[in-house]
Amino acid sequence: MSQPVFNSRDARHKTPYGAVASGTQVQFTLRPDRGKGFSRAFLRARFEMDANREVTVPMPWRGTQLGIDLFSGTLETGDYVGLVWYSFVLEGLDGRREELGEYQLTVYDKNERVPGWFGEGVSYQIFPDRFFRTCVPDPAGMVGGRTVHQNWEEEPEFRPDEKGEVRNRDFFGGNLNGIIQKLDYLQSLGVETVYLCPIFEAAENHRYGTADYSRIDPMLGTNEDFKALCDELHSRGMRLMLDGVFNHTGYVSRYFNGDGFYSELGACQSEGSPYRNWFQFKNWPEEYESWWGIYSLPAVNEDEPSYREFIFGGENSVVRRWLRAGADGWRLDVADELPDGFVHGIHRAARETKQDAVVIGEVWEDGTTKIAYDVRRRHLLGGHCDGLMNYPFRTALLDYLQGRGAEQFVERMETLRENYPPFAFYSAMNALGTHDTLRVLTLLGTGGAHTHKSKEFRAAYRMTAYEREYAKQLLKVGAAVLFCFPGSPTVYYGDEAGMEGFEDPFNRRTFPWGKEDRELTNWFAALGNLRRESPALRRGSLNWVESTGSVLVFERVCGDERVLCACNAGQDDAQIALPAGTWEVLVGDGELREEALRLSARSAVVLRHQRRQN
């Protein structure tokens, strides 16, 4: 088999590997067969974020190697930060011409320094209203005309109102004190970072339509309760990440005040309101821009100076205030719908306020190639997001679990590793499920079926015993990959307890305290505690060992510790050849025989290489 003329992932063709810091000299080598008779070559590079400036780099002939011609050249990145699109041209004496490319080179800011704590440890995402309540709250006097479920196990309201929207005004009353009471449980899972969906005052139970950024929602508790939660987390060596929803506010809010709940004049009540310029009215006050056309979520103008001052500019701005109150980072909702300058301002404010604060963005695609509003985004080039929610990881892993082959998982992850700066690859928020996706157990058990049926059907549906057992086996395989992969393994509350559910609001049911699936909980706890204790899993390099069909094997290496994750997502048992050495099983039930591992169908095992004793 002939070798490729150029392979961007092969050190014989390109060094360094993947994304590079600004100022790096990148060495390229083409390796065509000598029989093709090429006499010269050159590289063309287009610096996209420098007005598509183009340079041509000669690649002189350097000699031959086993019948292969070598043409090499060096690209100078200088002070440039952004994407470089490069291609090659080979020419022969007879006038023949062969072109290769384009390829992507990510050049990030060499001065970027990202705190390592987030990507190393386990994160746990909580939808606060549905996690745990210490009392049944009284909603009287609270914003939004709320109702409260007396029974913790009732179904969330899912029927739309007269405008075709689910109002989300039904609450269960989960609160901050409830989270404090369950910190022992979270620590038993190996959790180091608690990520909370929005907790500021809001009319809806999801709280993504903020009513008052200065106040904890009274159903959750008080600002003092927030400080108590942060203090308790920090005393345990844990951290807190908040959800920053800055692209839109609530129709019912201090700023828009669509229903007149607040005494001060909101943007839709008076054109003299201090908040008027925050919003974009087509026909004041009835018609206005809103997030995805949802009337209850009026969109803000992030270019408005007073809004920027309010969110991140001033000393008492939202970003700074809550970091000083005890938060350790921000997850930015719909980050790709925020202007780059706005995200940069948040990042700068966060670092100025707390040196090791982290900013994670919600982006559903490859963050280096993302285009939003006709602009190539700068999410991962430095000074913007430290990492992103890794939905490409989730998609590729679910595809693997559902039978699409380990090769595609490796290829898609290598694309990310090649495109992402190392800090972003290792600070990614990896998850199998979130508040915006089907419960992973339901997805794996039903294969995505029934989504075309009525909401009443989906509300009542529970998997059969066979579907549930099948899904549990695959979820355990997926969790092994999740906890062993670079980036923060993030668990959506209740996935480890076996919660089921289709889309919102069925993926946001209350946590089944006392009715958890102990087999799953114990599995997640074993993996989480291993992640907490293993340097290799926290920060080690990633090496692929095998990716054939249903078998996926990779190792993490840090110093003299080697940890191997071996998975079989298929319907039949698998025999896996292990790297040379002596291995011990840390998690799982694989059968070790000398230098081979036998894995049952839909199972996984994590092993550690045993060092020889002198």
Catalytic residues: 333, 362
Q: What is the DSSP letter of 198?
A: P
Round to whole Å and give the CA distance between 198 and 248. 13
Round to whole Å and give the CA distance between 351 and 348. 5
Helices (H), 252-354: 305-308, 318-324, 340-353
Going by C-alpha positions, the residue among 437, 455, 435, 441 that lies closest to residue 157 is 455
Give one word for 190, left, alpha or beta, with left for phi > 0 and alpha for psi -120 to 50.
left
Check: CB of residue 604 under 8 Å from CB of residue 568: yes
DSSP assignment of 139-175, as one string?
A: -TT-TT--EE-SSTTSPPP----TTS-----EE----
Which distant-in-sequence residues (6+ apart) come within 8 Å of 570 by Cβ? 403, 549, 550, 551, 601, 602
Instruction: List % helix, strand, coil for the chain (3-state, nearest 5).
Output: 25, 30, 45
Q: Would you give the distance in Å from CA 511 to the centre of its chain?
A: 22
Q: Would you give the distance in Å from CA 556 to the centre of its chain?
A: 20
Going by C-alpha positions, the residue among 78, 236, 219 that lies closest to residue 135 is 219
With b for 16 or more beta-carbon neighbours within 10 A and e for fewer, the 276-293 pattern comes to: bbbbbeeeebeebebbee
Pairing mode, if any, of strands 488-492 and 429-431?
A: parallel
Which distant-in-sequence residues (6+ apart) come within 8 Å of 315 by Cβ? none
CB atoms within 10 A of CB 497: 18
Tokens of 250: 């609530």
